[in-house]
Amino acid sequence: MQDTHQNLPMPTEAGQTPEATPEQAAADAAGAPEVMPGMEELLRQAELAAQEHHDAWLRAKAETDNVRKRAQADIANAHKYAIENFSSELLAIRDSLEAALATTNATTENLKSGVELTLKQLTSVFEKFNLAEINPLGQKFDPYRHQAINAVESDAEPNTVMQVFQKGYLLNDRVIRPAMVAVAKPKALENG
């Protein structure tokens, strides 16, 4: 029989360590001291990077909050002062009306021409700010732009606007006041 244990290391006595090959001893001597400082250095670098990322995140969060607050202030100011230009244009019209009332010896003709000029000023302001008149006389009734307050018998096509009681107005194609109208309805048949 052949001895099968010839390549196995010999058991050592208690407290002794098996001898390592010279290559293992050199690797252990060179590698063991550098493993611990290398890990510590990597950990320190990772902590520094994490702190930098945290600081950058805090700065970005603060900047986002500042942008949000500025946007809210801008929106509040836009709402607050949205009609500033329109209001300043109306002041000239008010001045014209006050001047007309202050005149002591005005004739009917002078008052009429003054009112016509003031109306032209007002129309100009309306056009400048895209405030358009709705005057649908003779047009087909549009429930989105007109408010029918009664119907009158007529030979005209049903639902045709027959009378405008109050003009409506659009602001940038949005109805801010519908026109109050009377619409046509077919004449009732007489029984005879």
Provide the residue-wise pLDDT of the chain in tens; the chain has 192 residues.
555 555 555 555 555 555 556 556 555 555 555 445 688 889 999 999 999 999 999 999 999 999 999 999 999 988 888 888 889 999 999 998 898 888 888 888 888 888 999 999 999 999 999 999 999 999 999 999 999 999 999 988 999 999 999 999 999 989 999 999 999 998 877 654
DSSP state of 7: T
At 109, which helix (H) or strand (E)? helix 108-128
Q: CATH homologous superfamily for 132-192?
A: Head domain of nucleotide exchange factor GrpE (2.30.22.10)
* Residue 181 contacts residue 160 (beta carbons within 8 Å): no
Tokens representing 87 are 């209001």
Report whether 146 contacts 134 (CB < 8 A). Answer: yes
CA–CA separation, 148 vs 159, rounded Å? 9
How far is 155 from 136, CA to CA, in rounded Å? 18
Residue 110 has a pLDDT of 86
Residue with tokens 């006389």: 137
Two structure tokens written together for 2 = 């052949």
In 46-130, DSSP assigns E strands to: none
The whole-number pLDDT of residue 144 equals 95
DSSP-based helix, strand, coil % in the chain, nearest 5: 50, 20, 30
CB 119 within 8 A of CB 147: no
Q: How many CB atoms lie within 10 A of CB 144?
A: 6
Per-domain residue ranges of the chain: 132-192
Q: Under a CB-based contact definition with an 8 Å cutoff, are residues 182 and 163 in contact?
A: yes
CA distance 187 to 156: 10
State the Cα–Cα distance between residues 142 and 160, nearest whole angstrom: 9
Count of CB atoms within 10 A of residue 136's CB? 19
Length of the chain counted residue by residue: 192
Question: Which pLDDT belongs to residue 16?
Answer: 54
